[in-house]
Each structure stands twice: as C-alpha cells, then as structure tokens.
Amino acid sequence: MRRRFPLAATAAAAFLAVVVVLPLASAATSSGSGKAKAKAPVAPPAPPNITALMSKGGCKAFASLVEKSPDALSAFQSAVEGGVTAFCPTDDAVRSFMPSYKNLTADGKASLLLFHAVPVYYTLGGLKSSNGPMNTLATDGSARNYNFTVQNVGDQVSIRTEASDAAARVRSTVYDKDPVAIYAVDAVLEPVELFEPVEAPAPAPAPVADAPRASSKSKGARHPPRHVADAPGPAADDAAPADQKKNAKKNAAAGGPCPRWLAAIPAAVAAALV
Ligand SMILES: *[C@@H]1O[C@H](CO)[C@@H](O)[C@H](O)[C@H]1NC(C)=O
Ligand SMILES: *[C@@H]1O[C@H](CO)[C@@H](O)[C@H](O)[C@H]1NC(C)=O
Ligand SMILES: *[C@@H]1O[C@H](CO)[C@@H](O)[C@H](O)[C@H]1NC(C)=O
C-alpha cells in the first residue's frame, strides 16, 4: 500500500524527465553551446550608490561634496566593491566646517573626503570591538598616513584625530549591507595632515593654571621675602626631580610663611593709619 505513492511519484518524475526536461536540455545544447546557459543566472546587482545612500541618510551636504570631487567620487565608487565603511558627517557638522573646507586645495578636499572611509566593511558590532588606529581611503603608504583612531566608550563608538580635541561620535547607521556600511557622525574628521594638531594637553594648560597663582602672588607679595623660597630646606630639594623641586618651591612660596607675611599687611596698614 505504502509503496504506491513513491512508485507513482517516480513514474511521474521519469515521465517529466523524458517529456519535458530532455527536450529542453537538448534544445539548449543544440541552440547555442555554453552561452545560453551563462545567460540564465541573473546579473549581479549593481553596486550600491554610496552618495545616494548618504544623501538619504542625513548626509546630503557631505554626499554633494563627494560628488563635486572627481577624485573622491571615483575612489569611493571603486571602494564599494571591495568592502568599505564610511563615516558621513551630518549636514549640521558639514555646514559649520565649510569655511575651513573652502580653504583646502582640490587635492586637500579629496583627501579630507576620503579620510571619512576605511577600506574594510565593519558592522556596528565590529566597530565596537575595534579600538585603535585605522587607515582610511586617503592613506597612501607611510608618506600619507591619514589614519584616525576608533575609540569605544561604553556603547558609544567615537573617532578621534590629533587635530581635534573633541571626538566625532557615531550617531546612527545609515546603511549596513555587506560589503558596505555607512554611519553618520556628528563632526567632520580633521586629519593632522591638513589641520594643525591640537597642542598636547599637558604643556598647553600649564601656564594658564600657573598664571593666577603667579599674579596673586605678585599682587599680594610685592616684595616677596627671600627666605620663603628657601624654606623647604636641602633635604626636599635633593630628593625631588627638577620639576617637582620647582613646584615644591612654588607651593612653599604660596602656602608656606607667605600667609603669615600677608597677614602682617593689615596690621602694618592699620599702624600707618594710626
Ligand atoms: C548616484 O546617485 C546620484 C544622486 O544622488 C546620482 O547623481 C549619480 O549619478 C549616481 N551615481 C551612479 C554611479 O549611479
Ligand atoms: C582660510 O585661509 C585664510 C588665508 O590663509 C586664513 O586667513 C583664514 O583664517 C582661513 N580660514 C579658515 C576657516 O581656516
Ligand atoms: C598614524 O599617522 C601618524 C601621523 O599622522 C603617524 O605618526 C602614525 O605612525 C600613524 N599610525 C599608524 C598606526 O599608522
């Protein structure tokens, strides 16, 4: 009983093979060798239009800059096929950056635009586990570094360059379909190759921080007593490295006998008034 269906199916399949498939196959082979078969699979889909995707995803201004730079446009287009992750600044970010952008040469503009993409496809999850320096589409060997640093803090993916003290933050996923990902960022990325690096944080603020102390000292102590600076004594001076020694002296000057000396001023003034 059970064998009836399989038998019937087998018979049907055999019938189909003889009546339908065989004639088709022979028609194909007789009509035109391999060419007919090669046409059968659907043509691969056209690569995505990266600037169109950026425009749609809130980066219209950036996409339009890419379209106006022939070098950048062709590099973006060829990168799309090999895998690419682009970081497009939002329209607001581009608007405030335009004065600086207009100052760049055509070559500088192309480099800046290409600085906003890396030749590797990253999902957002992939980016979140990729702290560190990355080469960009603007990188060309060691002569043109054009790298930036991906920095994750918690769930926030950020991109840092030495030319800017604020990191650009990834705001949203504009497009993500292997091999192309596009993320919107809230600032234009500035390569140090085109923009002055921000001063290293340590040396820059130091004089500023010192200034008020120095001025208050000079105001309060117009005739700083010589003995104050020597107060810490030889032991402290010998133990500490030069910088700390300097600070120790400064601290001693600010916090040592100075207040006593300052406290004497009102008394002296009072005495003078009497
Ligand atoms: C991509 O889309 C833009 C419109 O956003 C269009 O002007 C351009 O011709 C398109 N490029 C290609 C290669 O299709
Ligand atoms: C553009 O370049 C000019 C001349 O080099 C300079 O004075 C100006 O500050 C620059 N503007 C910006 C926004 O970089
Ligand atoms: C990144 O670029 C800087 C110069 O802009 C260079 O000193 C540094 O070695 C580069 N880092 C990597 C990992 O390529």
Let me know if residue 76 belongs to a domain. yes
d(CA 56, CA 61): 11
Domain that holds residue 89: 50-185
d(CA 76, CA 48): 11
Return the ligand number nearest the Cα of 76: 1
Pairing of strands 180-185, 84-89: parallel
Residue nearest to atom 13 of ligand 3 (CA): 133
d(CA 88, CA 50): 11
Task: Indicate which atom in ligand 3 lies nearest the CA of residue 135.
Answer: 14
Residue 145 Cβ inside 6 Å of ligand 3? The answer reads yes
Task: Indicate which atom in ligand 1 lies nearest the CA of residue 46.
Answer: 14
Given a cut of 60, whether residue 274 has pLDDT beyond it is no
Let me know if residue 170 belongs to a domain. yes
Q: Pocket around ligand 1: residues whose beta carbon is below 6 Å from it?
A: 49, 51-52, 55
d(CA 110, CA 107): 5
Contact between residue 173 and residue 181 where contact means Cβ atoms under 8 Å apart = yes
- The per-residue pLDDT for 165 is 86
Task: Indicate which atom in ligand 3 lies nearest the CA of residue 162.
Answer: 5
d(CA 176, CA 252): 60
Share of the chain above pLDDT 90, in %: 52
The band of 152, judged by pLDDT with boundaries at 50, 70 and 90, is very high
Let me know if residue 139 belongs to a domain. yes
List beta partners, residue 139: none
pTM of this structure:
0.64
Let me know if residue 244 belongs to a domain. no
Q: Which comes out higher in pLDDT, residue 59 or 205?
A: 59
The radius of gyration computed from the CA coordinates of the chain, to the nearest angstrom, equals 35
Choice from 136, 145, 195 to test ligand 3 binding pocket (greatest atom count within 8 A of CB): 145
Beta strands in the chain (DSSP E): 84-89, 117-118, 132-135, 147-153, 156-160, 168-177, 180-185
Q: Pocket around ligand 2: residues whose beta carbon is below 6 Å from it?
A: 99-100, 103
Given a cut of 90, whether residue 17 has pLDDT beyond it is no
Task: Give the Å distance between the CA of 104 and the centre of ligand 2.
Answer: 9
The band of 201, judged by pLDDT with boundaries at 50, 70 and 90, is low
Map tokens 């199916």 to a residue.
Answer: 9
The band of 40, judged by pLDDT with boundaries at 50, 70 and 90, is low
Contact between residue 151 and residue 131 where contact means Cβ atoms under 8 Å apart = yes
The band of 202, judged by pLDDT with boundaries at 50, 70 and 90, is low
Let me know if residue 166 belongs to a domain. yes
Let me know if residue 158 belongs to a domain. yes
Helices and strands, number each (H, E), in the chain: 13, 7
Task: Indicate which atom in ligand 3 lies nearest the CA of residue 192.
Answer: 5
Let me know if residue 235 belongs to a domain. no
Task: Give the Å distance between the CA of 114 and the centre of ligand 1.
Answer: 18
Token pair of 81 as six digits:
């096929």
The band of 141, judged by pLDDT with boundaries at 50, 70 and 90, is confident
Q: How many domains does the chain divide into?
A: 1
Let me know if residue 224 belongs to a domain. no
Which domain CATH number covers 55? 2.30.180.10
Q: What is the average pLDDT score of the chain?
A: 73
Residue 149 Cβ inside 6 Å of ligand 3? The answer reads no
